[in-house]
Structure 1
Amino acid sequence: MRLIFGLVLIVGVTLAGFAVYVAQDRFAQYQQALASQRNSVIETTEVYVVNTQLRYGEQLRPEDVTAVNWPADHVPFGAFTSMEELFPEGPDELRTVLRMVERDEPILVSKVTGPGQDAGVASQLGAGMRAFALSVDVASGVSGFLRPGDRVDVYWTGNSRGENVTRLIRSNVQIIAIDQTSDEDRNNPTIARTITVEAPPEEIAALAQAQASGRLTLALVGVDDDTVSETIEINQDQLLGIAEAEQETGQRICTVRNRRGNEVIVTPVPCTN
């Protein structure tokens, strides 16, 4: 009996010692992990975010912003890191929201105007750029699916040297306003009467001449499309394949043009000379 009691005591002491050893090892690992975390503390800086949702046209006030700690190596481009930078003139010269800002979203230079400016078109123009209005309708304006911020190709249709032609005159033109609205967050389609585009002065001159001498048609460019379209021009003969037919047969093809209102009908006829 004493022998059995002694064996049980030895086994118990052994298990207790093993448990203490395991606990000490785990504690040492935990202390090592804490020390490693203390040695790799992420450096932060203050970035100002909004504490409530703000929509286009609303003024940004000091009570609408809050400073939060942000990883210093990952501060968003154009973020504000001080109240003096965000409100350089104090509460007398407030910024205006250009695009909707969600709660806890960093305030970026691209989403607000300068101090004391409103959300008009002039505040969105880049350096050296000008705003120009183009008249559109349901057909030329992509059936009302245009929104501020979209890019379009501009085609001109008119008479050039006695021929009706359609030509791509400008590519990837930026739209900054639809009618009297420059809110890029607007998502309901509307039939626009005018669109305002942003372009340098030389392109504005070309668009003005094109609008005065013919009809303009817009083609919507995809959001992720960064290709630059080459000059494209097509006349009625190319549209009807008359030039190609002449090349294939090796014979001269004569045509007669008849105008019916705004439409010109081209009819092939036998050549007399």
Structure 2
Amino acid sequence: MGIRSVLVAMLGVAVAGGSAYGAREYLDQSRAVAATDPAAALVTVVVAGRDIPFGQPIQPQMLQVLSWPRAALPPGAITDLNALVAQPGMQPRRATHEIAQGELILASKVSNFGEKVTIVQSLGENSRAMAIRVDAETAVGGFVTPGDSVDIVLTQGNNTTLRAVTILQNIRVLGVDQQADQQTDQPQIARTVTVEVTPEQSQTLALAQKAGTLSLSLRSLENAEDKPLESIRLSDILREQSPVEEPTVAKPTVRVRRANAVEVVEVE
């Protein structure tokens, strides 16, 4: 028994030693690969230290420098702080898109030094910016803000010929009057709302503004489904009776006995 215990103990020591040696060799090899493989190295990147609104000049206090795996570096990421921050006497670069806190600063989201930033930079490919006339009633009481999505409803006609139809759905709001900051949450009574549309949709809007009154219908964040909607006329909602169903009134009944059978009969 004593010899067997000694042998077991020696075997355990040998296994533990071999595992430790193997682990050390693996770590040494990993360090060697990291030192020689450029893809495994870290690089410095510039990220937003706070939310940067559209059009905001890029200032040093808005930025942070972090280490980032080179292999995971997206195209266009800015790695040199001096390439982003203006030197004394230079005009600043500006955010051409909203940049969230902690987000990598990409060259596609900032302007060149001194470049003018307008709403054009926020347009998608093959999109157009078009303004439509609104007021407190047609613009959801002023609660439409840049970044919201809306449906656009056309109302036209007079008296009994009055009708309404949804002409465009899920349209992104670019600006309200001269305000294009998506961070704003203050309602305001606007006179114009600028929306992002395709060239075909811009023609539809141009005709619709001449044909009648345009109203905006604010969409929820979860509602992304579009479906065809038929126009509705004033005669469709002017009914002789309320659309609420009338309660059913039970008819009176009598019990009639015939021989040994009893029958319930309604009284007309």
1:241-256 map, 5 Å: none
Aligned residues: 234
Tell me the amino acid that sits aligned with residue 194 of structure 1: T
Structure 1 length as normaliser, TM-score? Answer: 0.64
2:50 maps to 53
Tell me the amino acid that sits aligned with residue 98 of structure 2: R
Tell me the amino acid that sits aligned with residue 27 of structure 1: A
Deviations 1:58-77 (A, max 9, x none): 32268976665433453346
**How far apart are residue 187 of structure 1 and its match?**
2.6
1:176 maps to 174
- Out of 129, 132, 145, the residue aligned to residue 131 of structure 1 is 129
Change in CA separation of 1:209 and 1:129 when aligned onto 2, cut-off 3 Å: same
CA distance in 2, matches of 1:72, 1:24: 36
CA RMSD, aligned part only?
4.2
Contact 1:46 1:82 in 2 (8 A): no
**How far apart are residue 93 of structure 1 and its match?**
6.1
- Out of 230, 233, 242, the residue aligned to residue 232 of structure 1 is 230
Change in CA separation of 1:201 and 1:22 when aligned onto 2, cut-off 3 Å: closer
Contact 2:147 2:172 in 1 (8 A): yes
2:259 maps to none
1:99 maps to 98
1:28 maps to 21
Contact 2:162 2:233 in 1 (8 A): yes
Tell me the amino acid that sits aligned with residue 152 of structure 2: V
Q: Secondary structure at the match of 2:20?
A: helix
Structure 1, 60-69 or 143-152: larger mean CA deviation: 60-69
Residue segments in structure 1 that go unaligned for 5+ positions in a row: 1-6, 246-273
Matched residues, percent identical?
30
Contact 1:133 1:194 in 2 (8 A): yes
**How far apart are residue 95 of structure 1 and its match?**
2.5
**How far apart are residue 168 of structure 1 and its match?**
0.8
Tell me the amino acid that sits aligned with residue 45 of structure 2: Y
Change in CA separation of 1:44 and 1:20 when aligned onto 2, cut-off 3 Å: closer
Change in CA separation of 1:137 and 1:204 when aligned onto 2, cut-off 3 Å: same
